[in-house]
Chain A
């Protein structure tokens, strides 16, 4: 039986989070009353003209900087002609042959892969090559009802960045990782909210399967209607299996577009190459070409530290493990939160804070299905809690109890420790008194210790903890006992 090679390329559309639309001053706003965020330009009224939103250009060029793309000196606008009721002008302003960004790549992070695949990553450290990134305008929204089709042009003219990868991916898991990693980077750069479920990021998959001995790529099959990262993974698995079966049966695959049906877990044929549009691209005469160099220079300083750069710094500066650094850097707000907690009092070891963030904070957030933004625990409060543990004011188990309360109420550790009566007695005078009592009451144990049985010390410490109802600091108790007996 021949082996098959899968080749995958992704086309991602990401909505930029600019305040206004691509070519008019209308607000970009979701959930507004239909057709209330429109004007002559985005409605395609006769005589209206587009004017560039510079912020959209800046954000796209910034994305190019983050993804190591090249930005040519001149970038221009083209018209893509096709008729559809949700497209007001019946042509879309886009960039055909002189996009804002060329080349570059998306690094696949270990944690971007699906959890069940992180142990079996085929190409660790892979960077998926990009073909280009260009900017275009979004279309309106059609809602089909029994009575007809309703059109809402609030979305029409929203800046949309199209990120096109090379056919450089091999598996569904890589595609999954690509989308997560890309999303993370877009959020890091503050250019897009990039939420697939909210339609802020959309993805078409080009996929082809060919027998190993065949040199040229197999027929390109495009998948549409993929509304989540996991749907992309499922769809690719399904499509690879389907195409492989076809080839095994000796069928010939033809270039086509297929629609993913998430409920049925299968793809359905939409159209074949013969129905392909001729978009009749030509340069838009209403918009001038963009001279990118001054924008590029300006945006260089805005390039943020990227997830993998942050990871490396966390390992270096905070002595956290690579895995922990990955977790902390996975989301920019989390990384910022962590760094604020560390900065609150730098005497507290960062590594300890990292453990608390990852195990307790994230654990609690996950368990309660909440996000960091919902958390009542402040970075400063966590630092205080960890400091208390480090200074021996409370035990680790007590601290977990305190954290529970902090997470639930947002109270500070000081208050909760007081309420719970957790303050440990570290005052050696009081502890000495307790030690003396125990030594006096247990001469046989003292003799055992002196004969060399170290374990007796633990027993005596236990007695003192009991008589102090747990408040004595076990470390101080141990030290005092040793001094008195040794």
Chain B
């Protein structure tokens, strides 16, 4: 048996890894320097792992008094120059909303991991859901841009966590990694070394302190943020601010800031948003799904293909900014779109908005804390539009 081809072909290092641990490992690989959180199911494994791993690297782990404080500390550490993250689930994610808005408006890079569980309220703490999709987009008050990523496998949880840090630094913005209970707590084979993903650091200004303004559009769409204590003294505030960071009531200054703030993300959808297509070339029906639901969707697609039905899968890796153009293309090429998600139809609304009636859009939904099954999706294939 020892030399059988199967054993030989196995990659040298394959490991069984839990989704939450893959997220934690990904954060370490990205150069995590600061992690603050408050205990909550089903995200706990991330903090437990990092409380051991970070001090050994001279990095910081701190358990804060609540989730509001956790994200505040993360933002503070990022202003101090560290790559910083927090992890939580529904109730804690609700508490973080004010500071997500602060990080978006003040443009402080940070990563927020939300392992979604069934809600609202305490809901079913140990059960999966995708009910925070719209909250991740609109949960904080006021219009703001945001980047939200959604991993579909344990291996991808690792890679996307690194990517989340990269995007947060590159676009100087909070990035939300929206996992779900199934993905975070399942164990799956990952290959080591885990994919070599590029790690990006913080942008640095090329100007001396006298010429530096933290919101100067002359420095580009994403003006670099110099950490505190490096001689570039400036002011940060959640009030609307001018290019130097001081509060302003001048509409022209507010307009300049807002144009840049939205433009840097919403104007870059093609660069930011990732969408994965499977068997879409000849598809007449497209299933749109994300996170662990995409696994049920893939299974349903395979069963349909076995019956020679032209069904394809469109997996959203980036939920926000929403990739309108990709959905438009699909809506123009298929007869029916099935949107499968563990909520009562949140991405469904977006797909309907973009499809504008070009294809028939059907939702497959549940919000009871159980997964969408391939059978449920198969049943939707049968419905005549």
Pairing of A with B: no
User: What is A's interface to B at a CB cutoff of 8 Å?
Assistant: none
